[in-house]
């Protein structure tokens, strides 16, 4: 048998007790054939079954696997340069050296992690890597109000999924001091934690997608891939299905510490969160306060009056400045993919509207 296996034999009076523990180094081969136990039967696995078994047991890591089909003409230089700048890596180093040092090369080929992070169109290589964001009119999926299929690079997809969520959740305004405070019904930090967890811990061998769904009474964030450890240890330990992706996210500071996110989410949401898990899927359900179902434009008109409409680029600029008050116009142009002239023009318009102190995320306008 390969690998070798041991059983325990004990005696009780004149009875021999042979204990066969579950194998920890699956799959096992006997005379060149692999077997798996189903009830009282030992079934020989076929080639595809062996491959699927290795993938399910995480013995083959998707993110470390070299991608033989990637064409470097699809390499996203802007995403790479922004990534290098955020990490404080010297720009004098060659692109290949940086990728190798970050573990993004396997057998002299860029691996799947590199493709996910630095491809212009990741859906060209992996349709299942698209992040789907959907806003529904009520408590069911019968009517869709807004939908986005995010197929850019990994970091852009993450940011866009968070923005989609915040834009479609309600914001409470607290006036306790001179300056009005905005408080989203679900905090940005919680959304970021849950969305990034779905993206880095998902099973990329599965055809399923990461899905962010907003209903009138709840938010559901789902990803393919069950836990890699016992359910009783959920929230206590962390085991990475995609260790390179996890390492890149840690380097970028998107999460504070691997393994602590679930605890922080539970503390923030109290009894308003439920975690559902199966062998193939993981889902987080966040319950929203009792709020009326979306009423379309009339609802917006009732709550937002005398507003000045903003275009999509202006909303992007506001978001980026909110995220990083030291961001430059050049960096903004790279991220939202417009030239410097248009960036400065949009910023100038925003300055003209500076007497409107807050942005209403639902109506995309200053109020």
Cβ neighbour number for residue 102 with a 10 Å cutoff: 19
3-state secondary structure of 224: strand
Mean pLDDT of 20-49: 76
pLDDT surpasses 90 at 46: no
Q: Rounded distance, CA 69 to CA 296, Å?
A: 45
pLDDT band (50, 70, 90) for residue 218: very high
Which residue, among 231, 213, 230, 214, has the nearest Cα to 222 in the 3D structure? Answer: 213
Confidence band for 24, pLDDT divided at 50, 70 and 90: confident
What Cα–Cα distance (Å) separates residue 300 from each residue in 66, 293, 307? Answer: 49, 12, 11
The SS3 of residue 261 is helix
Is the pLDDT at 310 greater than 80? The verdict is no
Q: For the chain, list the domains and their CATH numbers.
A: 8-60 (no CATH), 61-294 (3.30.565.60), 297-366 (1.10.10.10)
317: left (phi over 0), alpha (psi -120 to 50) or beta: alpha
**For the residues 257-270, what does the mean pLDDT come to?**
76
Residues contacting residue 190 through CB under 8 Å, at least 6 positions apart: 264, 265, 268, 269, 286
DSSP E strand stretches across 288-360: 308-309, 359-360
Take residue 93 and report the two structure tokens written for it: 């180093």
Local structure of residue 294 (DSSP, 8 states): P
Q: Higher-confidence residue: 175 or 154?
A: 154
Q: In percent, how much of the chain has pLDDT > 90?
A: 26
pTM strictly above 0.85: no
d(CA 58, CA 145): 38
What's the mean pLDDT in 340-352? 83
Band the pLDDT of 52: cuts 50, 70, 90: low
Q: What is the pLDDT of residue 299?
A: 39
């Amino acid at each position: 048998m390969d690998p070798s296996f041991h059983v325990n034999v004990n005696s009780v009076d004149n009875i021999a007790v042979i204990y066969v523990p579950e194998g920890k180094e699956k799959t096992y081969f006997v005379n060149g054939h692999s077997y798996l136990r189903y009830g009282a039967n030992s079934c020989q696995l076929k080639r595809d079954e062996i491959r699927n078994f290795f993938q399910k047991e995480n013995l083959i890591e998707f993110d470390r696997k070299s991608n033989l089909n990637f064409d470097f003409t699809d390499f996203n230089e802007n995403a790479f340069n922004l990534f290098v700048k955020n990490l404080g890596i010297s720009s004098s180093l060659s692109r290949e050296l940086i990728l190798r040092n970050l573990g993004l090369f396997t057998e002299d080929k860029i691996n799947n992690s590199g493709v996910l992070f630095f491809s212009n169109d990741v859906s060209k290589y992996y349709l299942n890597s698209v992040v789907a964001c959907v806003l529904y009119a009520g408590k069911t999926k019968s009517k869709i109000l807004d939908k986005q299929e995010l197929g850019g690079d990994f970091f852009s997809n993450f940011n866009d999924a968070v923005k989609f969520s915040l834009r479609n959740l309600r914001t409470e305004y607290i006036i306790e001091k001179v300056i009005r405070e905005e408080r989203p019904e679900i905090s940005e930090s919680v959304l970021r934690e849950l969305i990034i967890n779905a993206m880095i811990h998902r099973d990329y061998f599965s055809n399923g997608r990461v899905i962010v769904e907003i209903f009138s009474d709840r938010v559901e964030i789902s990803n393919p891939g069950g836990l890699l450890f016992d359910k009783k240890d959920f929230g206590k330990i962390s085991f990475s299905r995609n260790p390179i992706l996890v390492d890149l996210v840690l380097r970028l500071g998107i999460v504070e510490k691997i393994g602590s996110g679930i605890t922080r989410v539970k503390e923030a949401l109290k009894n308003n969160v439920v975690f559902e898990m199966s062998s193939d899927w993981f889902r987080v359900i966040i319950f929203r306060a009792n709020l009326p179902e979306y009423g379309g434009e009339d609802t917006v008109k009732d709550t937002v009056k005398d507003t000045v409409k903003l275009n999509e680029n202006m909303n992007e600029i506001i978001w980026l400045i909110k995220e990083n008050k030291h961001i430059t116009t050049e960096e903004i142009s790279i991220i939202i993919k417009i030239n410097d002239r248009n960036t400065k023009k949009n910023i100038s318009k925003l300055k003209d509207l500076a007497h409107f102190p807050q942005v209403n995320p639902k109506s995309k306008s200053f109020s």
